[in-house]
């Protein structure tokens, strides 16, 4: 691969149709080894005739934003008869979900929440300005260094370059927007940028409270129904959230996608908040 040889080492993650490995760059010096993450994915998936086209689209869109420091670098790609190999920047600290839930890294830490969340905003804003809309923003798709202070946006498998979409159901249930689910909106075409904004709001709630406000934004979900019915939902229902943070969530989680805050507006509001946590 571009003159480099890799030794696949331990698996970093596994999905239904692929595995991500840590890989040693054999040309790197023994006293300063360099690593990459290599994503190995099947080209052709039974029952999914468009699987190879989707992989090519993922690589194309990822490559378009790969230069940003807040996006995992796509260094190289190759393929065999059966597999596609993506050579990616290796992040040695796991993902943001681990930092939130297992390490409790953001508990009570306003400064770190601001620092990290603004870096996430910067990366997503760059993607949007480049015409790339992620559609699967969640902590598991944000990779970190060991101390959690540096983050990289990853996994463009559901990304699109369309500003409006009719592909409903794209995303992960805790983070997906209601218009992307589709039922409450009669499955009308939806704007992809505001759908990412919704997901960013859920990620910020995760970072502050270690929990999610609902399991899925549908009328069958008690948490989501509470949000629709209670104008003070975020302050009352999210553990330990300050009034200022709850007010920000009120402005992010509009059921009208076009009424949601923009990324610059969210950034400005986050910087103005003294604390995300309710005073004891």
Residue numbering of the annotated binding site for ATP: 43
Active-site residue (options: 136, 155, 196, 250): 136
98 classed as catalytic:
no
Binding-site residue set: 43
Of the candidates 184, 206, 191, 197, the one whose C-alpha atom is nearest the C-alpha of residue 254 is 197
Beta carbons within 8 Å of 72's beta carbon, 6+ residues apart: 37, 62, 66, 88, 89, 91, 143, 152, 153, 154
Angle between helices 110-129 and 192-209 (to 10 degrees): 170
Measured over the CA atoms of residue 116, residue 207, residue 276 and residue 244, the dihedral's sign is positive
Measured between its terminal Cα atoms, the distance across the chain in Å is 56
Of the candidates 239, 242, 214, the one whose C-alpha atom is nearest the C-alpha of residue 229 is 214
Q: Where are the alpha helices (DSSP H) in 47-94?
A: 51-65
- The residues annotated with a catalytic role in the active site are 136
């Amino acid at each position: 691969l571009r003159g480099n040889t890799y030794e696949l080492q331990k698996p970093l993650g596994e999905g239904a149709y692929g595995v991500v490995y840590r890989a040693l760059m054999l040309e790197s010096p023994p006293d300063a080894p360099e690593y990459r993450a290599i994503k190995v994915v099947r080209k052709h998936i039974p029952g999914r005739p468009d699987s190879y086209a989707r992989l090519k689209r993922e690589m194309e869109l990822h490559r378009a934003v790969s230069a940003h420091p807040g996006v995992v670098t796509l260094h190289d790609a190759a393929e065999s008869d059966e597999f596609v190999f993506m050579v990616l920047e290796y992040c040695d600290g796991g993902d943001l979900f681990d930092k939130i839930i297992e390490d409790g890294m953001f508990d009570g830490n306003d400064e770190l929440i601001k620092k990290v969340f603004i870096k996430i905003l910067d990366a997503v804003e760059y993607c949007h300005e480049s015409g790339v809309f992620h559609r699967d923003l969640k902590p598991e798709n944000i990779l970190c260094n060991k101390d959690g202070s540096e983050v990289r946006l990853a996994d463009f498998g559901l990304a699109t370059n369309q500003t409006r979409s009719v592909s409903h159901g794209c995303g992960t249930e805790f983070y997906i927007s209601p218009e992307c689910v589709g039922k409450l909106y009669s499955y009308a075409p939806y704007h992809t940028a505001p759908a990412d904004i919704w997901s960013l709001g859920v990620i910020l709630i995760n970072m502050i409270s270690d929990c999610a406000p609902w399991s899925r934004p549908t009328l069958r979900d008690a948490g989501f129904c509470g949000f629709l019915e209670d104008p003070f939902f975020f302050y009352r229902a999210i553990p330990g959230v300050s009034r200022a943070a709850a007010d920000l969530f009120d402005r992010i989680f509009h059921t009208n996608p076009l009424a949601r805050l923009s990324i610059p507006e969210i950034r400005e509001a986050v910087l103005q908040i003294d604390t995300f946590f309710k005073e004891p």
